[in-house]
A and B are shown apart, each in its own frame.
Chain A
Protein backbone atom coordinates (compact mmCIF):
# COMPACT_ATOMS: atom_id res chain seq x y z
CA UNK A 1 0.00 0.00 0.00
CA UNK A 2 1.57 3.24 -1.08
CA UNK A 3 0.80 6.54 0.62
CA UNK A 4 -0.81 7.91 -2.54
CA UNK A 5 -3.17 4.97 -2.74
CA UNK A 6 -4.27 5.57 0.85
CA UNK A 7 -4.71 9.28 0.20
CA UNK A 8 -6.82 8.58 -2.87
CA UNK A 9 -8.97 6.23 -0.81
CA UNK A 10 -9.47 8.83 1.93
CA UNK A 11 -10.34 11.73 -0.38
CA UNK A 12 -12.61 9.47 -2.37
CA UNK A 13 -14.56 8.33 0.70
CA UNK A 14 -14.82 11.76 2.32
CA UNK A 15 -15.53 14.05 -0.62
CA UNK A 16 -16.00 12.44 -4.02
CA UNK A 17 -18.26 9.59 -2.95
CA UNK A 18 -19.60 11.16 0.21
CA UNK A 19 -21.72 8.58 1.99
CA UNK A 20 -24.77 10.74 2.40
CA UNK A 21 -24.68 13.15 -0.47
CA UNK A 22 -23.69 10.87 -3.29
CA UNK A 23 -24.28 7.31 -2.10
CA UNK A 24 -27.49 7.91 -0.14
CA UNK A 25 -26.46 5.82 2.85
CA UNK A 26 -27.38 6.82 6.39
CA UNK A 27 -30.08 9.29 5.43
CA UNK A 28 -32.26 8.46 8.46
CA UNK A 29 -29.86 9.80 11.12
CA UNK A 30 -28.86 12.55 8.68
CA UNK A 31 -32.43 13.87 8.73
CA UNK A 32 -33.27 12.79 12.27
CA UNK A 33 -30.36 13.95 14.42
CA UNK A 34 -29.33 17.13 12.65
CA UNK A 35 -31.34 19.70 14.58
CA UNK A 36 -28.41 20.87 16.71
CA UNK A 37 -24.68 20.98 16.07
CA UNK A 38 -23.87 19.28 19.40
CA UNK A 39 -26.01 16.24 18.79
CA UNK A 40 -24.88 16.03 15.18
CA UNK A 41 -21.28 16.01 16.34
CA UNK A 42 -22.03 13.27 18.89
CA UNK A 43 -23.71 11.15 16.24
CA UNK A 44 -20.84 11.77 13.84
CA UNK A 45 -18.20 10.58 16.30
CA UNK A 46 -20.26 7.53 17.22
CA UNK A 47 -20.55 6.64 13.53
CA UNK A 48 -16.82 7.11 12.85
CA UNK A 49 -16.00 4.87 15.80
CA UNK A 50 -18.46 2.09 15.00
CA UNK A 51 -17.67 2.16 11.28
CA UNK A 52 -13.95 1.78 11.90
CA UNK A 53 -14.37 -1.16 14.28
CA UNK A 54 -17.17 -2.82 12.30
CA UNK A 55 -15.21 -2.60 9.04
CA UNK A 56 -12.28 -4.55 10.45
CA UNK A 57 -14.37 -7.20 12.18
CA UNK A 58 -16.76 -7.84 9.30
CA UNK A 59 -13.86 -8.01 6.85
CA UNK A 60 -12.12 -10.63 8.96
CA UNK A 61 -15.36 -12.58 9.37
CA UNK A 62 -15.93 -12.48 5.65
CA UNK A 63 -12.62 -14.29 5.13
CA UNK A 64 -13.92 -17.02 7.43
CA UNK A 65 -17.21 -17.18 5.55
CA UNK A 66 -15.36 -17.63 2.27
CA UNK A 67 -13.23 -20.38 3.76
CA UNK A 68 -16.29 -22.19 5.13
CA UNK A 69 -18.09 -21.65 1.80
CA UNK A 70 -21.21 -20.14 3.36
CA UNK A 71 -21.07 -16.74 1.72
CA UNK A 72 -24.86 -16.62 1.39
CA UNK A 73 -25.05 -16.00 5.13
CA UNK A 74 -23.14 -12.73 4.64
CA UNK A 75 -26.02 -10.31 5.24
CA UNK A 76 -27.30 -12.13 8.33
CA UNK A 77 -23.86 -12.50 9.88
CA UNK A 78 -22.91 -8.89 9.18
CA UNK A 79 -26.03 -7.36 10.67
CA UNK A 80 -25.89 -9.57 13.76
CA UNK A 81 -22.22 -8.76 14.28
CA UNK A 82 -22.89 -5.05 13.90
CA UNK A 83 -25.86 -5.15 16.26
CA UNK A 84 -24.00 -7.04 18.96
CA UNK A 85 -20.86 -4.98 18.40
CA UNK A 86 -22.82 -1.81 19.10
CA UNK A 87 -24.19 -3.31 22.32
CA UNK A 88 -20.67 -4.30 23.31
CA UNK A 89 -19.26 -0.88 22.52
CA UNK A 90 -22.05 0.67 24.55
CA UNK A 91 -21.23 -1.46 27.59
CA UNK A 92 -17.47 -0.87 27.30
CA UNK A 93 -17.81 2.88 26.83
CA UNK A 94 -20.25 3.07 29.74
CA UNK A 95 -17.82 1.22 31.99
CA UNK A 96 -14.60 3.02 31.10
CA UNK A 97 -15.59 6.46 29.92
CA UNK A 98 -18.80 7.81 31.42
CA UNK A 99 -18.14 11.22 29.87
CA UNK A 100 -17.99 9.81 26.36
CA UNK A 101 -20.97 7.60 27.17
CA UNK A 102 -23.18 10.48 28.13
CA UNK A 103 -22.09 12.25 24.96
CA UNK A 104 -22.71 9.30 22.62
CA UNK A 105 -25.19 7.36 24.76
CA UNK A 106 -28.43 7.89 22.94
CA UNK A 107 -26.88 7.65 19.49
CA UNK A 108 -25.13 4.32 19.82
CA UNK A 109 -28.26 2.10 19.67
CA UNK A 110 -29.57 4.19 16.79
CA UNK A 111 -26.59 3.24 14.69
CA UNK A 112 -27.80 -0.37 14.43
CA UNK A 113 -30.33 0.64 11.82
CA UNK A 114 -27.96 3.07 10.17
CA UNK A 115 -27.53 1.56 6.74
CA UNK A 116 -24.19 3.31 6.35
CA UNK A 117 -22.48 0.82 8.69
CA UNK A 118 -23.79 -2.28 6.91
CA UNK A 119 -23.22 -0.51 3.62
CA UNK A 120 -19.55 0.15 4.26
CA UNK A 121 -19.10 -3.44 5.48
CA UNK A 122 -20.57 -4.88 2.27
CA UNK A 123 -18.65 -2.39 0.14
CA UNK A 124 -15.35 -3.26 1.80
CA UNK A 125 -15.55 -6.93 0.90
CA UNK A 126 -16.10 -6.13 -2.76
CA UNK A 127 -12.94 -4.01 -3.10
CA UNK A 128 -10.34 -6.03 -5.01
CA UNK A 129 -7.13 -6.41 -2.96
CA UNK A 130 -3.79 -8.15 -3.29
CA UNK A 131 -3.67 -9.81 0.13
CA UNK A 132 -5.81 -10.30 3.21
CA UNK A 133 -3.63 -7.96 5.31
CA UNK A 134 -3.86 -5.06 2.88
CA UNK A 135 -7.57 -5.73 2.50
CA UNK A 136 -7.97 -5.38 6.25
CA UNK A 137 -6.05 -2.08 6.19
CA UNK A 138 -8.13 -0.76 3.28
CA UNK A 139 -11.33 -1.77 5.07
CA UNK A 140 -10.27 0.08 8.20
CA UNK A 141 -9.26 3.26 6.35
CA UNK A 142 -12.38 3.16 4.22
CA UNK A 143 -14.56 2.75 7.29
CA UNK A 144 -12.98 5.63 9.18
CA UNK A 145 -12.94 8.04 6.27
CA UNK A 146 -16.52 7.20 5.27
CA UNK A 147 -17.47 8.03 8.85
CA UNK A 148 -15.64 11.34 8.56
CA UNK A 149 -17.53 12.10 5.35
CA UNK A 150 -20.79 11.36 7.16
CA UNK A 151 -19.79 13.65 10.04
CA UNK A 152 -18.89 16.53 7.73
CA UNK A 153 -22.21 16.31 5.89
CA UNK A 154 -24.33 16.07 9.05
CA UNK A 155 -22.42 18.97 10.66
CA UNK A 156 -22.98 21.27 7.69
CA UNK A 157 -26.68 20.41 7.69
CA UNK A 158 -26.99 20.96 11.44
CA UNK A 159 -25.32 24.37 11.11
CA UNK A 160 -27.78 25.42 8.41
CA UNK A 161 -30.77 24.07 10.34
CA UNK A 162 -29.79 25.99 13.47
CA UNK A 163 -29.84 29.18 11.42
CA UNK A 164 -33.21 28.22 9.97
CA UNK A 165 -34.84 28.07 13.41
CA UNK A 166 -35.59 31.76 13.25
CA UNK A 167 -36.58 31.77 9.60
CA UNK A 168 -40.18 32.11 8.53
CA UNK A 169 -40.86 28.87 6.67
CA UNK A 170 -44.28 28.06 5.16
CA UNK A 171 -46.11 25.52 7.31
CA UNK A 172 -46.19 22.74 4.76
CA UNK A 173 -42.43 23.03 4.23
CA UNK A 174 -41.50 22.77 7.89
CA UNK A 175 -39.62 19.72 9.11
CA UNK A 176 -38.51 17.16 6.56
CA UNK A 177 -39.27 18.96 3.28
CA UNK A 178 -37.11 22.01 3.97
CA UNK A 179 -34.32 19.75 5.26
CA UNK A 180 -34.45 17.72 2.08
CA UNK A 181 -34.27 20.87 -0.03
CA UNK A 182 -31.20 22.02 1.92
CA UNK A 183 -29.69 18.59 1.39
CA UNK A 184 -30.41 18.95 -2.30
CA UNK A 185 -28.40 22.17 -2.51
CA UNK A 186 -25.61 20.57 -0.46
CA UNK A 187 -25.59 17.62 -2.86
CA UNK A 188 -25.22 20.03 -5.76
CA UNK A 189 -22.17 21.53 -4.08
CA UNK A 190 -20.70 18.11 -3.41
CA UNK A 191 -21.41 17.02 -6.98
CA UNK A 192 -18.60 19.37 -7.96
CA UNK A 193 -16.15 16.99 -6.29
CA UNK A 194 -17.09 14.27 -8.73
CA UNK A 195 -15.10 16.22 -11.30
CA UNK A 196 -11.93 15.36 -9.38
CA UNK A 197 -9.88 13.00 -11.43
CA UNK A 198 -7.73 11.28 -8.84
CA UNK A 199 -5.94 8.00 -8.65
Chain B
Protein backbone atom coordinates (compact mmCIF):
# COMPACT_ATOMS: atom_id res chain seq x y z
CA UNK B 1 0.00 0.00 0.00
CA UNK B 2 2.73 2.43 0.92
CA UNK B 3 5.11 1.67 -1.90
CA UNK B 4 5.52 4.47 -4.39
CA UNK B 5 3.74 2.67 -7.18
CA UNK B 6 2.45 5.07 -9.74
CA UNK B 7 -1.29 5.22 -10.22
CA UNK B 8 -2.40 4.09 -13.61
CA UNK B 9 -5.53 5.26 -15.36
CA UNK B 10 -6.95 1.80 -14.91
CA UNK B 11 -6.67 2.14 -11.14
CA UNK B 12 -9.02 5.09 -11.37
CA UNK B 13 -11.51 3.72 -13.86
CA UNK B 14 -11.96 0.22 -12.42
CA UNK B 15 -13.54 1.43 -9.14
CA UNK B 16 -16.13 3.42 -11.09
CA UNK B 17 -17.03 0.51 -13.34
CA UNK B 18 -17.09 -1.92 -10.42
CA UNK B 19 -19.21 0.45 -8.37
CA UNK B 20 -21.88 0.64 -11.03
CA UNK B 21 -21.98 -3.00 -12.11
CA UNK B 22 -20.01 -5.58 -10.17
CA UNK B 23 -20.36 -3.99 -6.73
CA UNK B 24 -23.60 -2.15 -7.33
CA UNK B 25 -24.50 -1.18 -3.75
CA UNK B 26 -28.23 -1.61 -4.21
CA UNK B 27 -28.61 -4.69 -6.38
CA UNK B 28 -25.41 -6.61 -5.64
CA UNK B 29 -24.37 -5.75 -2.10
CA UNK B 30 -27.93 -4.91 -0.94
CA UNK B 31 -26.77 -2.08 1.29
CA UNK B 32 -28.62 1.08 2.19
CA UNK B 33 -32.01 -0.46 1.66
CA UNK B 34 -33.99 1.97 3.80
CA UNK B 35 -33.61 5.08 1.60
CA UNK B 36 -33.80 2.86 -1.49
CA UNK B 37 -37.30 1.78 -0.60
CA UNK B 38 -38.49 4.93 1.08
CA UNK B 39 -37.64 7.74 -1.30
CA UNK B 40 -38.19 6.03 -4.64
CA UNK B 41 -41.82 7.00 -4.98
CA UNK B 42 -40.74 9.22 -7.87
CA UNK B 43 -37.75 9.31 -10.19
CA UNK B 44 -36.70 12.80 -9.19
CA UNK B 45 -36.64 11.90 -5.48
CA UNK B 46 -34.53 8.83 -6.22
CA UNK B 47 -32.12 10.84 -8.33
CA UNK B 48 -31.63 13.58 -5.77
CA UNK B 49 -31.24 11.13 -2.89
CA UNK B 50 -28.63 9.28 -4.94
CA UNK B 51 -26.71 12.47 -5.65
CA UNK B 52 -26.83 13.51 -1.99
CA UNK B 53 -25.39 10.15 -0.95
CA UNK B 54 -22.76 10.35 -3.72
CA UNK B 55 -21.58 13.72 -2.42
CA UNK B 56 -21.32 12.50 1.17
CA UNK B 57 -19.64 9.29 0.04
CA UNK B 58 -16.94 11.03 -2.04
CA UNK B 59 -16.16 13.58 0.70
CA UNK B 60 -16.08 11.07 3.54
CA UNK B 61 -13.99 8.61 1.51
CA UNK B 62 -11.43 11.35 0.76
CA UNK B 63 -11.16 12.48 4.40
CA UNK B 64 -11.04 8.94 5.80
CA UNK B 65 -8.42 7.94 3.25
CA UNK B 66 -6.31 10.97 4.18
CA UNK B 67 -6.55 10.14 7.86
CA UNK B 68 -6.15 6.38 7.46
CA UNK B 69 -2.72 6.34 9.12
CA UNK B 70 -3.77 8.56 12.02
CA UNK B 71 -7.02 6.98 13.17
CA UNK B 72 -6.37 4.32 15.83
CA UNK B 73 -7.93 0.95 14.98
CA UNK B 74 -9.97 0.77 18.16
CA UNK B 75 -11.92 3.98 17.76
CA UNK B 76 -12.17 3.94 14.00
CA UNK B 77 -15.94 3.38 13.78
CA UNK B 78 -16.88 6.45 15.89
CA UNK B 79 -14.36 8.48 13.87
CA UNK B 80 -15.94 7.37 10.60
CA UNK B 81 -19.42 8.11 11.88
CA UNK B 82 -18.33 11.58 12.98
CA UNK B 83 -16.85 12.37 9.57
CA UNK B 84 -19.88 11.02 7.73
CA UNK B 85 -22.37 12.86 9.92
CA UNK B 86 -20.52 16.14 9.34
CA UNK B 87 -21.06 15.87 5.60
CA UNK B 88 -24.64 14.72 5.89
CA UNK B 89 -25.34 17.78 8.04
CA UNK B 90 -23.81 19.91 5.28
CA UNK B 91 -26.15 18.31 2.72
CA UNK B 92 -29.10 18.80 5.05
CA UNK B 93 -28.40 22.51 5.57
CA UNK B 94 -27.64 23.26 1.92
CA UNK B 95 -30.79 21.48 0.76
CA UNK B 96 -32.95 23.24 3.34
CA UNK B 97 -31.69 26.62 2.17
CA UNK B 98 -31.71 26.19 -1.61
CA UNK B 99 -34.21 23.44 -2.48
CA UNK B 100 -36.72 23.44 0.38
CA UNK B 101 -39.40 21.53 -1.56
CA UNK B 102 -37.02 18.60 -2.12
CA UNK B 103 -35.93 18.82 1.51
CA UNK B 104 -39.56 18.39 2.54
CA UNK B 105 -40.19 15.39 0.31
CA UNK B 106 -37.03 13.52 1.36
CA UNK B 107 -37.64 14.59 4.96
CA UNK B 108 -36.29 12.27 7.59
CA UNK B 109 -34.03 10.43 5.17
CA UNK B 110 -31.50 13.24 4.75
CA UNK B 111 -30.18 13.12 8.33
CA UNK B 112 -30.48 9.34 8.07
CA UNK B 113 -27.74 9.31 5.41
CA UNK B 114 -25.45 8.97 8.45
CA UNK B 115 -26.65 5.46 9.17
CA UNK B 116 -26.68 4.40 5.53
CA UNK B 117 -24.60 1.23 5.61
CA UNK B 118 -23.05 1.97 2.21
CA UNK B 119 -21.01 4.79 3.71
CA UNK B 120 -19.64 2.82 6.63
CA UNK B 121 -19.03 -0.22 4.44
CA UNK B 122 -16.97 1.76 1.92
CA UNK B 123 -15.10 3.58 4.69
CA UNK B 124 -14.20 0.33 6.38
CA UNK B 125 -13.72 -1.78 3.29
CA UNK B 126 -12.05 0.61 0.85
CA UNK B 127 -11.15 4.13 1.99
CA UNK B 128 -9.29 3.02 5.11
CA UNK B 129 -7.04 0.78 3.02
CA UNK B 130 -6.44 2.80 -0.13
CA UNK B 131 -4.91 6.06 -1.30
CA UNK B 132 -6.89 9.26 -1.63
CA UNK B 133 -7.54 9.32 -5.37
CA UNK B 134 -8.74 5.71 -5.75
CA UNK B 135 -10.93 6.24 -2.68
CA UNK B 136 -12.54 9.28 -4.24
CA UNK B 137 -13.12 7.31 -7.43
CA UNK B 138 -14.59 4.44 -5.44
CA UNK B 139 -16.95 6.92 -3.79
CA UNK B 140 -17.93 8.27 -7.19
CA UNK B 141 -18.49 4.79 -8.65
CA UNK B 142 -20.50 3.41 -5.75
CA UNK B 143 -22.43 6.67 -5.54
CA UNK B 144 -23.28 6.56 -9.23
CA UNK B 145 -24.34 2.93 -8.95
CA UNK B 146 -26.62 3.88 -6.08
CA UNK B 147 -28.00 6.88 -7.96
CA UNK B 148 -28.66 4.78 -11.05
CA UNK B 149 -30.47 2.10 -9.04
CA UNK B 150 -32.60 4.64 -7.20
CA UNK B 151 -33.49 6.50 -10.37
CA UNK B 152 -34.52 3.32 -12.16
CA UNK B 153 -36.61 2.20 -9.22
CA UNK B 154 -38.15 5.64 -8.85
CA UNK B 155 -38.97 5.79 -12.55
CA UNK B 156 -40.63 2.36 -12.54
CA UNK B 157 -42.67 3.05 -9.44
CA UNK B 158 -43.65 6.52 -10.61
CA UNK B 159 -44.64 5.25 -14.06
CA UNK B 160 -46.81 2.39 -12.82
CA UNK B 161 -47.99 4.01 -9.64
CA UNK B 162 -48.69 7.55 -10.77
CA UNK B 163 -48.59 7.36 -14.57
CA UNK B 164 -45.72 9.82 -14.93
CA UNK B 165 -41.95 9.97 -15.26
CA UNK B 166 -39.89 12.77 -13.70
CA UNK B 167 -43.16 14.53 -13.01
CA UNK B 168 -44.33 14.57 -16.64
CA UNK B 169 -47.68 12.91 -16.98
CA UNK B 170 -47.86 10.08 -19.49
CA UNK B 171 -51.57 9.43 -19.12
CA UNK B 172 -52.22 10.39 -22.72
CA UNK B 173 -49.75 7.77 -23.98
CA UNK B 174 -51.00 4.80 -22.05
CA UNK B 175 -54.45 3.37 -22.36
CA UNK B 176 -53.76 0.78 -19.66
CA UNK B 177 -55.23 0.83 -16.20
CA UNK B 178 -52.71 3.31 -14.84
CA UNK B 179 -52.04 4.40 -12.23
CA UNK B 180 -51.88 1.40 -9.91
CA UNK B 181 -51.46 3.26 -6.67
CA UNK B 182 -50.09 0.20 -4.86
CA UNK B 183 -46.73 0.73 -6.53
CA UNK B 184 -46.28 4.01 -4.70
CA UNK B 185 -47.25 2.36 -1.41
CA UNK B 186 -44.66 0.39 0.62
CA UNK B 187 -45.88 -2.96 -0.73
CA UNK B 188 -45.04 -1.94 -4.29
CA UNK B 189 -41.64 -0.70 -3.17
CA UNK B 190 -40.66 -4.08 -1.75
CA UNK B 191 -41.99 -5.85 -4.83
CA UNK B 192 -40.21 -3.67 -7.41
CA UNK B 193 -36.97 -3.87 -5.42
CA UNK B 194 -37.10 -7.67 -5.20
CA UNK B 195 -37.84 -8.14 -8.88
CA UNK B 196 -35.18 -5.61 -9.92
CA UNK B 197 -32.53 -7.49 -7.93
CA UNK B 198 -33.47 -10.66 -9.78
CA UNK B 199 -33.36 -8.99 -13.20
CA UNK B 200 -30.08 -7.18 -12.51
CA UNK B 201 -28.29 -10.22 -11.12
CA UNK B 202 -29.45 -12.57 -13.86
CA UNK B 203 -28.39 -10.09 -16.55
CA UNK B 204 -24.98 -9.38 -15.04
CA UNK B 205 -24.30 -13.08 -14.44
CA UNK B 206 -25.28 -14.02 -17.98
CA UNK B 207 -23.15 -11.26 -19.50
CA UNK B 208 -20.09 -12.10 -17.42
CA UNK B 209 -20.58 -15.82 -18.12
CA UNK B 210 -20.74 -15.08 -21.85
CA UNK B 211 -17.62 -12.90 -21.84
CA UNK B 212 -15.74 -15.48 -19.77
CA UNK B 213 -16.68 -18.27 -22.12
CA UNK B 214 -15.52 -16.16 -25.05
CA UNK B 215 -12.24 -15.47 -23.26
CA UNK B 216 -11.68 -19.13 -22.43
CA UNK B 217 -12.47 -20.09 -26.03
CA UNK B 218 -9.85 -17.63 -27.21
CA UNK B 219 -7.47 -18.98 -24.61
CA UNK B 220 -8.15 -22.53 -25.82
CA UNK B 221 -7.42 -21.48 -29.39
CA UNK B 222 -4.14 -19.92 -28.30
CA UNK B 223 -3.26 -23.07 -26.40
CA UNK B 224 -3.89 -25.34 -29.37
CA UNK B 225 -1.83 -22.99 -31.52
CA UNK B 226 1.05 -23.22 -29.07
CA UNK B 227 0.73 -26.96 -28.93
CA UNK B 228 0.88 -27.30 -32.72
CA UNK B 229 3.91 -25.01 -32.76
CA UNK B 230 5.55 -27.13 -30.12
CA UNK B 231 4.75 -30.25 -32.08
CA UNK B 232 6.26 -28.73 -35.17
CA UNK B 233 9.37 -27.82 -33.23
CA UNK B 234 9.51 -31.35 -31.83
CA UNK B 235 9.17 -32.77 -35.30
Contacts and interface: CB of A to CB of B under 8 A. Distances in A.
B190 A118 contact: no
Contacts of B115: 79, 112-115, 118
B18 interface: no
Contacts of B190: 180-181, 183-184, 187
A189 to B, nearest CB: 9
A185 B38 contact: no
B89 A76 contact: yes
Interface string A153-189: 0000000000000000000110011111101110110
A118 B109 CA distance: 10
Contacts of B38: 23-25
A31 B120 contact: no
A118 B191 contact: no
B78 A75 contact: no
Contacts of A115: 34, 112, 115-116
B117 interface: yes
Contacts of B197: 176-177, 180
Nearest to A76: B85
A134 interface: no
Contact of A191 (B30, B117, B185): B185
B99 interface: no
Contact of B186 (A73, A181, A187): A187
Nearest to B85: A76
Interface in A18-48: 21-28, 31
A18 to B, nearest CB: 9
B182 interface: yes
A74 B88 CA distance: 11
Nearest to B88: A75
B201 A76 contact: no
B57 to A, nearest CB: 15
A105 interface: no
Given A119-B112, A122-B108, A22 B186 contact: yes
Given A180-B190, A180-B191, A184-B191, A118 B111 contact: yes
B179 interface: no
Interface residues of B, number: 40
B194 interface: yes
Nearest to B113: A75
B194 A118 contact: no
Contacts of A123: 108
B186 A75 contact: no
Interface in B60-100: 77-78, 81-82, 85-86, 88-89, 92-93
Contact of B34 (A28, A183, A184): A28
A172 B202 contact: yes
A7 interface: no
Given A75-B85, A79-B114, A187 B185 contact: yes
Interface in B155-182: 182
A172 B89 contact: no
Interface in B18-60: 30-31, 33-35, 37-38
24 contacts: A22-B186, A24-B37, A26-B34, A27-B33, A27-B34, A27-B37, A31-B33, A72-B93, A75-B89, A76-B85, A112-B77, A115-B112, A118-B115, A119-B108, A177-B194, A178-B194, A179-B194, A180-B194, A183-B194, A184-B187, A184-B188, A184-B189, A187-B187, A191-B187
